[in-house]
Structure formats: structure tokens, C-alpha cells
Homo-oligomer: A and B are copies of this chain.
């Protein structure tokens, strides 16, 4: 399977790319925004393609072409304004879905945010971000794609435990980026997660069991 990781320069995206690259079962390509990011990846033997989520659907289609699956791990980040939240986290994401549909790339795994589907649980400090993720997820759920939407809690830079809790609705919690990356890769490879959306926090179940019991 040829897997394209969008937002490969982000903290979670980066770990996903490394995981897939190390496992060698699948071919991984990183979509990054800058040439220097592509050069760094090339040094590690990782293939990449340079494009921006603010580019057109046509440009993004060229970047996506040849992939069998997409992992969307991009985010405009906290240092830009809500204009970028709208144009990257929402519209940018939806453009990649439209490109995937046009190209017939069916599999699409989205890194979302804990409880993005429930307005009452959006973090007061991050309301625009949650709204953008909410609508990107909603459009994905209404698409023809074989989606999985993973909604992790507060992201930590700790080492992963390999043990998590996943369910449609979970109380507020946190989870290491390493565990998130592992859940994303496990979701991609498990058909049980197709057309499913779930919260993810650290927990007691092995990642394998957590996904199998969805």
C-alpha cells in the first residue's frame, strides 16, 4: 500500500511517517509544505512531495496521485490566526478529501481532536480550532471515502505505553503522541475501523485489543 501522510512535519505526522518507514510493509510518502522539509526527509530515505493545503484541489490531486491511502495529520498550529484554521484545518482538509474522491483513493484516516463532534465539550480556549475540526470531520463522514476519524485527547510528548482507551465518547484525558501515531497506523491497517470515529486517551487496553473491540 502507498500511504501519503499529510502534515508529515507536525509532531504526530512525523512519528507516523517514521513508524511506517520502519515497518517497511508499506511505502510511505510525506506531504510537506517546504522544500527544506523534503530535503531533510530525503536524507533519511523518506520520499516526499511538496504542496500546501492552501493550494488548489488540482495541485493537491497531483500530490496525492499514486497513493492508496491518506493520513491527514496536518494542523495550522497555534501560532497562526483563525484565518489559517479555516483555510487549512477545514478547507485544506476538505480539498484533500475532494482530491481523494476524484482520484478514487478510498482510504482516509483523519487525526481529529477529542470530542470534536460534541460542541458542548469544545475547549473554550480553542473554539475556532474545534469548529474547524468538527466540520472537516462532518464533511469526511458524509463523503464516499473509507474514513477513520481518530480524536485524541491532550497530546503529550511522553513515551508511549502501548495501552489506550478508545470509544465513541470518552471523558477528557491525555495521550502520548507516540501512542496516537501507533493507533493511527493500526487503524489504517484494520478494516474494523472503516467508517468509524472515536475518541482516544491513554488507558488499559493494548492498541490491538482496543481497535479489535471497536
Enumerate A41-85 residues with CB–CB distance to B below 8 Å: 56-57, 81-83, 85
Enumerate A77-125 residues with CB–CB distance to B below 8 Å: 81-83, 85-87, 90-91, 94-95, 119-120
Is A138 at the interface (CB under 8 A from chain B)? yes
Main secondary structure of the interface of A (DSSP, over half): helix
- Docked Cα-Cα span, A82 to B86, in Å, equals 8
Which stretch in A126-134, A154-162, A166-174 binds the other chain? A126-134
Residues from chain B with Cβ under 8 Å of A82 in the complex: 81-83, 85-86, 128
Residues from chain B with Cβ under 8 Å of A56 in the complex: 119-120
Contact check, B83 vs A127: say whether CB atoms are below 8 A apart: yes
| Contact A135-B90, Cβ < 8 Å, known A56-B119, A119-B57, A120-B56 | yes
- Using CB atoms, name the residue of chain B closest to A120: B56
Chain A interface (Cβ < 8 Å from any Cβ of B): 56-57, 81-83, 85-87, 90-91, 94-95, 119-120, 127-128, 131-132, 134-135, 138-139, 142
Give 19 new A-B contacts, CB below 8 A, not counting A57-B119, A86-B131.
Answer: A56-B119, A56-B120, A82-B82, A82-B83, A82-B86, A82-B128, A83-B127, A86-B86, A86-B127, A86-B132, A87-B128, A90-B131, A91-B119, A91-B131, A91-B134, A91-B135, A94-B135, A135-B135, A142-B142
